[in-house]
Amino acid sequence: MGKVTGFLEIDRQVHKYQPASDRIRHFREFTLPMSDKEVEKQAARCMDCGIPFCHGPTGCPIHNQIPDWNDLVYNGDWDNAIRNLHSTNNFPEFTGRICPAPCEEACTLNLEDIPVAIKTVEQAIADKAYETGHIRPYPPEKKTGKRVAVIGSGPAGMAAAQQLGRAGHEVSVYERESRPGGLMRYGIPDFKIEKHYIDRRIEQMQGEGVTFHCGVNVGVDKPVAELLAGYDAVLYCGGSESPRPANIPGDDLGGVYDAMPYLVQQNRRVGGEPIQSVAWPSHPIIAGGQHVVVVGGGDTASDCVGTAFRQGAVRVTQLDIRPQPPEKEDKLSVWPYWATKMRTSSSQAEGAEREFQVATLEFIGEDGQLTGVKCCEVDEKRKPIPGTEFVIRADLAFIAIGFAGPAAAGVAKELDGEMKITTDSRRSRNVEANDRDYKTSVDKLYAAGDVRRGQSLVVWAIREGRQAARSIDEALMGSTVLPR
């Protein structure tokens, strides 16, 4: 490594945030930029590990060569840093913003709670590459004559389409919404990732020959059978988007919503689009002046919290049925795996009241409109503890307890009985396809991303899209040079 003693001499530094009082006034990203020199110093902290777990199975799903590009950045070789990063990751500006960074959890320095700022360096590499013109279309030198359709334009579909296009295939991406990006565009708030980052990648892919057909809901507007007949292969990357049912009494009251219609319509507002979505139709939902309760403890719940504050909510309470985790994990028991410990998202830090080990018993209302949420404490088996009931005032409630599989309409409905569906340990219904060739039970049809593995991270979707592209290329051509 370039600076063997860097981890001893340089303190960890990551992007700072705008103050909460400032950032809740807008929907833009709020991280404050670091200079090139500051980022280079952080890259210098990457030590000469005997075994760098950061890019192994417990760290980075796409196996980014983290020590290599850290060394390149430390030495000021930003051009080769982006080349190295792109060899494993099509979209580092996405993961550098919205990945929870399991690589940092697996960093050897995390044994001392001072991991290398890998995510910060990754984002800086990608952003600098755009500034210096190093991210541009790379069309294939020759065409294969093969045609591939991709259903869904989220990170899995985008990664697969780019890989297949660069392999020389004619690639068409079908997206039911008006713009590409899937739930990365419409489900994740702009204050976490502004959507012009997606737009410029779409422009790059179009320059490489990938065609996007937006406003086409495959299985509804266009039969899957038509794609299977007209293309040499079809890849289904529809995501996991059916809300996990909460089955809470009173969930039909006015003011009680699943999380996604709320997040989607706000993202559409920010993007200058009509709020009505193909997948998530709903009347306008605004939290301004309201008492808001969010049921769920994950990223989607946190996104609802941040969105509600930016809309002017009076109070936001987040309910989590899980026990409050410890402030610090036992490193020797869990490292290099992802640790269960107390984490506070930027949205939660904006003023959310968090209740742990609490079950939602009932949504209470008057004249059909929500007025409160009845809760109780639960034991270690999530069983209600008698006598602990309490009511939280609520004008709006959002249910954000996860997703249970692909949309019921569309592809899954058309291929019902043909395309095998499995149920995993979380009771999620996923398209059956292994992680070697990604083939489904339907001839010529492949599946990748959350629609296959269940709800997961953007980085896992990119991995599956890349691997599925390799499998399709090999099936069509007899061999492949695409990386796995």
Tens digits of residue pLDDT in 169-206: 999 999 999 999 999 999 999 999 999 999 999 999 99
Under 8 Å CB-to-CB from 445, ≥6 apart: which residues? 224, 228, 233, 234, 235, 236, 415, 419, 439
State residue 89's pLDDT score.
98
Residue 1: band (very low, low, confident or very high) from pLDDT cuts 50, 70, 90: low
Q: Give span(s): CATH 1.10.1060.10, the chain.
A: 6-131
Q: Domain spanning 256-399: which CATH class is it, in words?
A: alpha beta
Average pLDDT over residues 12-27: 97
424 pLDDT more than 90: no
Predicted confidence (pLDDT) per residue in 51-73, tens digit? 999 998 899 999 999 999 999 99
- Helix 118-131 vs helix 36-43: crossing angle, to nearest 10: 140
* pLDDT for the residue 74: 97
- Which of 47-51, 181-185, 221-225 is the least confident region? 47-51
Query: What is the average pLDDT value for the chain, to the nearest integer?
Result: 96
Q: What is the mean pLDDT of residues 148-175?
A: 99
Flag whether pLDDT at 326 surpasses 80.
Answer: yes
pLDDT exceeds 80 at position 2: no
**What is the per-residue pLDDT for 73?**
98
At 427, is the pLDDT very low, low, confident or very high (cuts 50, 70, 90)?
Answer: confident
**Model confidence at 222: pLDDT above 90:** yes
Residue 149 has pLDDT above 90, yes or no: yes
pLDDT at residue 19 greater than cutoff 90: yes
CATH 3.50.50.60-classified regions of the chain? 147-242+405-477, 256-399
Phi-psi region of 228 (alpha: psi -120 to 50; beta: other; left: phi over 0): alpha
Predicted local confidence at residue 347, as pLDDT: 98
Q: Which residue's entry shows tokens 């979380």? A: 426
pLDDT in tens, 292-325: 999 999 999 999 999 999 999 999 999 999 999 9
pLDDT of 3 strictly over 90: no
pLDDT of residue 111: 95
User: CA Rg, the chain, in Å?
Assistant: 23
Spatial distance between the Cα atoms of 349 and 68, rounded to a whole number of angstroms: 34
CATH class of segment(s) 6-131 = mainly alpha
Give tens-digit pLDDT for 241-284: 999 999 999 999 999 999 999 999 999 999 999 999 998 888 99
Average pLDDT for 88-96: 98
Distance CA 444, CA 265 (A): 35
Is residue 399 within 8 A of residue 243, CB to CB? The reply is: yes
Q: Name, in order, each residue with C-beta under 8 angstroms of 28's C-beta and a sequence gap of 6 or more.
A: 190, 191, 194
In the structure encoding, which two tokens stand for residue 200, read together? 């410029």
- Tokens in use for 382? 């999530």
Give residue 409's pLDDT.
85
Contact 179, 185 (CB under 8 A): yes
Section 83-100 average pLDDT: 98
CA 103/CA 91 separation, integer angstroms: 16
Confidence (pLDDT) at 280:
86
Q: Which residues pair with 375 in a beta bridge?
A: 360, 390
> Domain spanning 147-242+405-477 has what CATH number?
3.50.50.60
- Does residue 374 have a pLDDT over 90? yes
